[in-house]
Structure 1
Amino acid sequence: MRVALCQITSTAEPAANLALVRDGVARAASEGARVVVFPEATMCRFGVPLGPVAEPLDGPWATAVGEIAQEHGVLVVAGMFTPAEDGRVRNTLLVTGDGRHLGYDKIHLFDAFGFAESRTVAPGDKPVTIELDGVTFGVATCYDVRFPELFRALADLGATAILLPASWGAGEGKREQWELLVRARALDSTCWVLACGQADPAASGERPQGTAPTGIGHSTVADPFGRVVAQLAAAPEMLLVDVSGDVVEQARQAIPVLANRRL
């Protein structure tokens, strides 16, 4: 199955970001993709108040993405923000198209490196998988990649490929950690891990003055053996990869870590 990772730099304007989704889906579908993945915070970049832009899954932004997915006959995964009951928002992955319209709420919030995502974002608590054309996909978001138990749980739910949108912050050693973690989670779960990050705004001159970078680019695909099979650079770009179930079977026979677990 062909999957497209659309590495973009989202703005603070949901309407402008919807145009990026429309363009990316059209291009990916023309290249034969059945699944089109956008980064975390596609609806609106981090660094601005998220409450005013948060919408439910049946709101206008998510509905428009669903219509784009239906028009092109693909499944779209894109990061957005939905209202939480306690006044915060939820960091939600919209999964829409092919008769589906649902969300995954990020379980592990980024309370690290001096930042507290949980101050404004409420956590989710349920792993999500989706079956499409005989392939079961799991989904995870950014900081989730540091928690191998989630990726093993997705494999236990039948996943053979895990889609990982992110808005990976810049910093010393962060790119190395990104690639290491994507590869490690592929090995932990013996799944494909398809990690789509926000592009580095500086790479295309799109970083607003005085704001922190919202991504480093380097969207990465690792196979179930932990090998990097495709990777982008820092700038906005699209990556196409064909996911094979045969490789999953080979890895699970050669490295049966799921079957060998004792704890």
Structure 2
Amino acid sequence: MTQNGNFKRRVRARAEKTGESYTAAFSHIRESAPSDPGPQARSVRLAVAQTTPYVDPRSAAELRASGEEMRRLMREAQKARARMIHFPEGATCSPNKRIMSSTGRDPVGPSDWSRFEWTVLREELDATRELARELGLFAVIGSVHQLTEPHRPHNSLYIVSDRGELVTRYDERLLSNTKISFMYTPGSTPVTFEVDGVRFGCSLGMETHFPEIFREYEQLDVDCVLFSTTGATPAFAAEALGHAASNRYWVSFSVLAYPGFMPPSGIAAPSGEWVAQCRADATPSLAIVDVDHNPGEIARPWRRMARAGIYEPHMVNDPRSGGRDTF
């Protein structure tokens, strides 16, 4: 249906441009199709992960374990011919606010970031980057990003290329009350990047509650938003599906594997439906989907037109009604 509709639009556009009849334009485009195929769909095989929660950054053993688990999942993704793997928020470590509190566990106070084993974290990240290079795999990794004192760190997503290079970094912008009060420095800008012609945007934490984040990425022409969080309620999952449907792009939904009534990681199609999900038993696993850029997609251009005021010329303001409905 999409390919056929795209072909008809090309025929009408040629007829309007050249003055030919529809039949003549149809014949010309059909004959030239092998050498003039029009825009081509592009795709990237994406693996979305759910990983074990590690919450104590004082523990070198936990940091090592998280790194080993991520690298194991990366090897699984590569065996499944994935081009990119998407990890949850805090995949390297999601520091517990009570562990980090400088005033004790209750009440929670400002985080003492000197407790973090930063050297071990950097070693694990370096090992993970090196594996990305060996496997030829892009990796999107949830991690705390250290800033110079006295600044608090960012809560971030690292984007590592298939050459093992840091391409860019997304810092969570709309932080929770605890995060902004006691833990992190907020980010300030959206981040996009491309893999094989498919464009991705990044989102973190509780940002699924803010439609403006996802609307902004639609305006930036992304094909997929990579949303990472630590633990998702059913509301988070419902919002991810809604953002996919309303913006007509893919949403990759990556969460830590906490036991209990929480939805698993998964990938939502532009139709607003899950096309793949990880295991629901809160164990580390992957879901894999070919995420595409479809130049024949018609819903997004129409919705942009609808938002641009095309209805205003058709509106009626009848002074006889006095602004009220009448019979």
- Cα distance in 1 for partners of 2:299, 2:225 equals 15
User: Are 1:5 and 2:48 an aligned pair?
Assistant: yes
Question: In structure 1, which of residues 61, 80, 97 is the aligned counterpart of residue 161 of structure 2?
Answer: 97
Question: In structure 1, which of residues 219, 227, 239 is the aligned counterpart of residue 287 of structure 2?
Answer: 239
* Pairing 1:177-188 to 2, within 5 Å after superposition: 177-188=235-246
Q: How many residues get paired?
A: 239
C-alpha displacement of 1:129: 0.6
Q: Give 2:84's aligned residue.
A: 35
**Are residues 251 and 81 of structure 1, via their aligned partners in 2, closer, same or farther at CA, if it must alter by over 3 Å?**
same
Q: Give 2:187's aligned residue.
A: 124
- Cα distance in 1 for partners of 2:66, 2:244 equals 30
Letter aligned with residue 189 of structure 1: N
Does the 8 A contact of 1:199 with 1:217 survive in 2? no
- Cα distance in 1 for partners of 2:271, 2:199 equals 18
Name the structure where helix makes up a greater proportion of residues: 2
- Cα distance in 2 for partners of 1:44, 1:216 equals 19
Q: Secondary structure, in 3 states, of the residue corresponding to 2:228?
A: strand
- Cα distance in 1 for partners of 2:171, 2:118 equals 13
- Cα distance in 2 for partners of 1:10, 1:194 equals 19
- Cα distance in 1 for partners of 2:224, 2:186 equals 23
- Cα distance in 1 for partners of 2:208, 2:77 equals 25
Does the 8 A contact of 2:237 with 2:263 survive in 1? no
Letter aligned with residue 156 of structure 2: T
List, as ranges, runs of 4+ consecutive aligned residues in structure 1 with deviation greater than 4 Å: none
Question: In structure 2, which of residues 131, 135, 157 is the aligned counterpart of residue 68 of structure 1?
Answer: 131
Q: Deviations over 1:10-68 (max 9, x none)?
A: 32321111001110000000101001011100111331427233759x94333222112
Question: What's the TM-score, normalizing by structure 1?
Answer: 0.82
Name the structure where strand makes up a greater proportion of residues: 1
Please say which structure displays the higher CA radius of gyration.
2
C-alpha displacement of 1:123: 0.5
Q: Deviations over 1:88-136 (max 9, x none)?
A: 221010110224412110111122xxxx111211100111111110100
- Cα distance in 2 for partners of 1:73, 1:61 equals 18
Runs of at least 5 residues in structure 2 that lack an aligned partner in the other structure: 1-43, 57-61, 101-110, 310-327
Q: Give 1:229's aligned residue.
A: 275
Letter aligned with residue 157 of structure 2: L
Percent identity, aligned pairs only, is: 28
Q: Secondary structure, in 3 states, of the residue corresponding to 2:70?
A: helix
User: Are 1:78 and 2:141 an aligned pair?
Assistant: yes
Q: In angstroms, what is the RMSD of aligned CA positions?
A: 2.4
Does the 8 A contact of 2:67 with 2:125 survive in 1? no
Q: Give 2:66's aligned residue.
A: 17
Q: Give 1:211's aligned residue.
A: none
Question: What's the TM-score, normalizing by structure 2?
Answer: 0.67
- Cα distance in 2 for partners of 1:260, 1:42 equals 40
User: Are 1:135 and 2:198 an aligned pair?
Assistant: yes
**Are residues 103 and 54 of structure 1, via their aligned partners in 2, closer, same or farther at CA, if it must alter by over 3 Å?**
farther
Question: In structure 2, which of residues 208, 211, 220 is the aligned counterpart of residue 157 of structure 1?
Answer: 220
Does the 8 A contact of 2:277 with 2:287 survive in 1? yes
